[in-house]
Structure 1
Amino acid sequence: MSIRTRLAIVASAAVLLISGTATAADKVYRLKLAETWGPNFPIFGDSTKNMAAMANKMSNGRLKITVDSSNKHKSPLGIFDMVKAGQYDMGHSASYYWKGKDINTLFFTTMPFGMTTPEQYAWFYHGGGMELMKEAYDKHGILSFPGGNTGNQMGGWFRKEINTVEDLKGLKMRIPGFAGEIMAKLGASPTNIPSGELYTSLERNTIDALEWVGPSLDLRMGFHKIAPYYYTGWHEPATELQFMINQKKWNKLPEDLQEILRVAMRTAAYDMYIQSYHESAVNWETMLTDFPNIKVKTFPKPVMDAMRAANDELIIERAKSSPLAQKIVDSQAAYLKKARVWTNISDRAYLDSLDN
C-alpha cells in the first residue's frame, strides 16, 4: 500500500471522526418530568419551569425537558413510582411522601423541631446529606436532588382554637410526613391530601384542619374563609422539595449535560426559596391588612411540650427501623447541634439585639 493511499485512508477516517463527533454534540436529549402540583401552580410549579428553561438555555437547546402537571398524569402522589419505573424520566415532589414505600426517604424533606433552611442546605451540601440521600434512593434506581425550599412553614389552619392536648384528640387533619405521625400519637387522625383537593376537603368537613405551606401559598387558597385560626410553625422548619431522576436515563446523558442539569436544579431550588420568602412577606402584610379576622396563634406550651416528647420518642423508633435510618438521624442530630450554636450567636443574637 502506497504512502499516498495510507494518507488518504487516514484523512477519510479523520473526516468521519470529526463528522461523528459533531453529530453527537448536536444530539438533542428529551426528558419528561412529572410534578405533584397542578398546572401553573405558583412557586412550586415555577421551579420546574425555571429549571427546564435554564437547562435548555445552558445546553444551547441540547437538553429539552417537558413538564407534565398532575392534571395530565393523574397521579400527584405517584411520582416516585413513575420515575422508578421509567414511565417518567424526572419528577418534582417531596421526599417525605414516600415514607410508606421506604422509611429512609422520610428524612430528606424536613423534620419537626429540626434544622432551619440554611442549616439544612449546609447539611445537604457540606455535611453529608447528599451522600445519605443517594444511599437511600440508590436501591430504587433514582437520583434525588434538593428541589426548592419553602422556609419555615406555618402550623396550619384550624376551625377551632387549640388550647390543650385534648383538643387534638379525634382531630381530622391534613398533615403529611413525620409531623403526621406525631399528631397521630397525640390522638389526631392525620391524612395526606393533594394540594388541589385541600380547600374542598376543608369546606366539606372531610377534615377539621390542615397545614399547607405558609402565607406564600395559603392566602390564595382561601383556607381562612373556613378555618380562621392560623398557627405558627413547629413541624416543617425547612421544607425541601425534590427533583428525582431515573438513574438509567441519567447515565445516558453526556457528562456536560449531567452537569448542566445539576446546576439548573440547584439554581432553581435556590430561586424557589427566595421567591417563597418574598411571597410570604408580601402576603403576610396583605393578610394583616385585608383579613383582620384571621386569628394568628401559637400552640400553648403544654401542647408544644407534648409534640416535642412524641417527636423524640418516634425518632428513636424510626431510627431503629434500619441501619441507614439510624445513620441519617444521627447525622442530622450531630449537624443540628453544631450548626445551631452558630445560628444562635449570629441570627438569633442579631435579632435579640434589636429588641434591647
Structure 2
Amino acid sequence: MTTRRDFLRTTAVGAAAGAGALAAPAVHGQSKIVWRLQTYAGPALAQHVIKPSIDMFNKIANGEMEIQLYYADQLVPTGELFRAMQRGLVDAVQSDDDSIAAPTDVSVFGGYFPFATRYSLDVPVLFEQYGLKEIWEEAYDEVEGVKWLSAGAWDPCHFATKKPIRSLKDLEGLRVFTFPTAGRFLSRFGVVPVTLPWEDVEVAVQTGELDGIAWSGITEDYTVGWADVTDYFLTNNISGAWIGSYFANEERWNELPEHLKALFRVCMDSSHYYRQHWYWGGEAKLRVHGKKMQLTTIPDEEWAKVEAEAHKFWDEIAQTSPRAARVVQIFKEYNEVMAKAGRPYRYD
C-alpha cells in the first residue's frame, strides 16, 4: 500500500506538502477510471469492513475501473476527509458523518447517536423503511461537491478499559478515545473524550495517555489489537450499532457510466451484508470464548439513568434544526414500535 509520503511525492505536491496540500484527483484515463477511496478503518479492520467489497468491485469491473483503497489517516486525516473529498483530493470515503466533520445537520446522528439503535438490523430498517435515507439525501443535496450514497450498520459501542467499570462512578475522569457525538454525551458522566489518530490509540493505552476506548464492540477490540492492551470489557453499551456511510465526490460520481454506478451500489450492499453477520456473530462468540478481557456490567437500574439522559440529549439535538427534529422523531417512533412489538424485537 502506498504510504502518505510516497503519495505526496508521486503526485508532485512538492514543498506544498508541508502546508497539508494534496495533488489533483486521480487521473481518469480513456482505458480505465481510477478512484482513491479512504476508509475510517485501519488496515486490520478494513480487511472486514470494506476490502472484500472493493476487491469484488475491481474484479467485476474487469479493467474498466479500479478503486484504490487507503486506510485510516493514510492520505488525509479522518477529520479532514469531507473537505478533501469535496475538493476532489480523494474520490470516495467510507466513514460516519460525525468523524469526517460533514457540514450537515444530520452529521450528529452518524457514528454512535446514544441509544438510537439496539441492534445492527435497526439501521437498514430506519434508512429503508422509516425515511432516514430520504432525509440524508436531502441534507447532502444542499452540500456542494459531495454525493451521499448509502448507510449501513457496524458494531455496538462498548468500553474497553484498563480498570474495571462496575458503576457510573467508575466512568468519572476516564480518558477515552471515542467519536465526537458519543464523547459529547459521555462527558455528562465524567468521561474525558480524547481525540487521536486511529493508529496511535493502542500505544496511547499502553503509555497511560488513554484509560480506555469507547469506539467499538468486542469484535473490533480483538481484530485491531485493543484487546491486547486493555483488561476489561463493559457489557453495557450506549448504542447497538454504529451508523456509517459511503460518500463520493459528486463530479466523479456523475462521470461514471450507469452500469458502474450500479456495480458500486451492489458492492456497498455486499459490504453492509458482510458486516451484519461478521459483527453479530463475533460479538457473541468473543464474549463467551474470548480470553483476553474480563467482562464487567453496570446494574440495569443504574444504567437506566444513562438511557434517560440520552433521551434528554435527543431533545436537545432536536432543537438544533427542523431536520434534526424530524430524525429524532423517527427514532422515537421506531423505538416505540419495537418496544410494543416485543420479542424478538425488544426484550424490555
Q: CA, structure 1 residues 71+172, in 2 after alignment: closer, same or farther (shift >3 Å)? A: closer
**Matched residues in 1 for 2:102 and 2:223: separation?**
30
**Matched residues in 2 for 1:226 and 1:72: separation?**
23
**Matched residues in 1 for 2:339 and 2:169: separation?**
32
Taking only aligned residues, the RMSD between alpha carbons, in angstroms, comes to 2.7
Partner of 1:29: 33
Secondary structure of 1:41's match? helix
Corresponding position: 1:345 with 2:331 = no
Q: Answer yes or no: is the 8 Å Cα contact 1:150–1:272 preserved in 2.
A: yes
Secondary structure of 2:98's match? helix
Q: Answer yes or no: is the 8 Å Cα contact 2:152–2:243 preserved in 1.
A: yes
Instruction: Kindly provide the amino acid, as one letter, of the partner of residue 344 in structure 2.
Output: S
Q: CA, structure 1 residues 75+172, in 2 after alignment: closer, same or farther (shift >3 Å)? A: same
Moved over 6 A (4+): none
Instruction: Report which of the two has the higher share of helix.
Output: 1
Partner of 1:269: 272
Superposed CA deviations along residues 322-355 of structure 1, whole A, max 9, x for unmatched, are: 121111111222223224433x233557xx9xxx
Q: CA, structure 1 residues 96+76, in 2 after alignment: closer, same or farther (shift >3 Å)? A: closer
Partner of 1:133: 136
Scaled by the length of structure 2, what TM-score is found? 0.81
Q: Answer yes or no: is the 8 Å Cα contact 2:212–2:230 preserved in 1.
A: yes
Partner of 2:193: 190
Secondary structure of 1:336's match? helix
Corresponding position: 1:331 with 2:335 = no
Q: CA, structure 1 residues 340+96, in 2 after alignment: closer, same or farther (shift >3 Å)? A: farther
Corresponding position: 1:77 with 2:79 = yes
Q: CA, structure 1 residues 135+120, in 2 after alignment: closer, same or farther (shift >3 Å)? A: same
Partner of 2:306: 307
Q: Answer yes or no: is the 8 Å Cα contact 1:28–1:61 preserved in 2.
A: yes
Q: CA, structure 1 residues 347+301, in 2 after alignment: closer, same or farther (shift >3 Å)? A: closer
Partner of 2:65: 63
Partner of 2:320: 321
Which of 209, 212, 216 is 1:213 aligned to? 216
Q: Answer yes or no: is the 8 Å Cα contact 1:228–1:295 preserved in 2.
A: yes
Give how far 1:264 is off: 1.2
Give how far 1:256 is off: 2.0
Instruction: Kindly provide the amino acid, as one letter, of the partner of residue 297 in structure 1.
Output: T
**Matched residues in 2 for 1:106 and 1:119: separation?**
18
Partner of 1:106: 108
Q: Answer yes or no: is the 8 Å Cα contact 1:36–1:69 preserved in 2.
A: yes
Secondary structure of 1:307's match? helix
**Matched residues in 2 for 1:146 and 1:233: separation?**
28
Q: CA, structure 1 residues 149+70, in 2 after alignment: closer, same or farther (shift >3 Å)? A: same
Percent sequence identity over matched residues?
Answer: 21
**Matched residues in 2 for 1:260 and 1:221: separation?**
29
Partner of 2:249: 246
Structure 2 unaligned spans of 5+: 1-29
Instruction: Kindly provide the amino acid, as one letter, of the partner of residue 85 in structure 1.
Output: R
Q: Answer yes or no: is the 8 Å Cα contact 1:216–1:276 preserved in 2.
A: yes
Q: Answer yes or no: is the 8 Å Cα contact 1:92–1:243 preserved in 2.
A: yes
Secondary structure of 1:193's match? coil
Scaled by the length of structure 1, what TM-score is found? 0.79
The aligned length equals: 317
Q: Answer yes or no: is the 8 Å Cα contact 2:79–2:101 preserved in 1.
A: no
**Matched residues in 1 for 2:86 and 2:329: separation?**
28
Partner of 1:149: 153
Give how far 1:301 is off: 3.7
Partner of 1:15: none
Instruction: Kindly provide the amino acid, as one letter, of the partner of residue 218 in structure 1.
Output: D
Structure 1 unaligned spans of 5+: 1-25
Instruction: Kindly provide the amino acid, as one letter, of the partner of residue 49 in structure 1.
Output: K
Secondary structure of 2:247's match? strand
Partner of 1:296: 295
Give how far 1:218 is off: 0.7
Instruction: Kindly provide the amino acid, as one letter, of the partner of residue 67 in structure 1.
Output: L
Q: CA, structure 1 residues 304+222, in 2 after alignment: closer, same or farther (shift >3 Å)? A: same
Q: Answer yes or no: is the 8 Å Cα contact 2:104–2:140 preserved in 1.
A: no
Secondary structure of 2:244's match? strand
Give how far 1:148 is off: 4.9
